[in-house]
Amino acid sequence: SRAYHDAPKYCATIETAQVKKDEVVFTGEIPARCIQAYRTDLAFYTNGRSVCLTELKGYQAAVGQPVIQPRRPNSRLDKVRHMFQKVM
């Protein structure tokens, strides 16, 4: 299925795939940073009929390049930071 073959795109590993009547149950691992995008795609594939249940496994060693996201401007925090920069 498309959901099975797209799993590596989301850094997911599928350990087992069970077919029960008209549904497929995947068991595996996926990083927390990728789960929302995978859920969105599953909902798209299945016209909103997918169910994605996750369970926290714990922290794992990171593989690959770090993901660096710029901080969004926050007027309250930026004002406080600016006050401290004036004092120093």
Cα pseudo-dihedral 74, 69, 32, 45, rounded to 10: 100
Q: How far is 6 from 27, CA to CA, in rounded Å?
A: 14
CB atoms under 10 Å from CB of 74, counted, come to 10
pLDDT of 85 reads 61
Residue 52 within a domain: yes
Q: SS3 for 25?
A: strand
Residue 82 within a domain: no
Residue 2's domain comprises 1-56
- What string of pLDDT tens digits covers the 88 residues of the chain? 788 899 899 989 999 999 988 888 999 999 888 899 999 999 998 898 888 888 888 777 777 777 777 777 777 777 766 666 655 5
Residue 20 within a domain: yes
pLDDT of 37 reads 92
Q: DSSP class of residue 65?
A: S
Residue 38 within a domain: yes
What six digits make up the tokens of 52? Answer: 């994605």
pLDDT of 83 reads 62
pLDDT of 33 reads 85
CB atoms under 10 Å from CB of 48, counted, come to 8
Residue 3 within a domain: yes
Residue 41 within a domain: yes
pLDDT of 52 reads 86
Question: Domain tally for the chain?
Answer: 1
Q: SS3 for 6?
A: coil
Residue 29 within a domain: yes
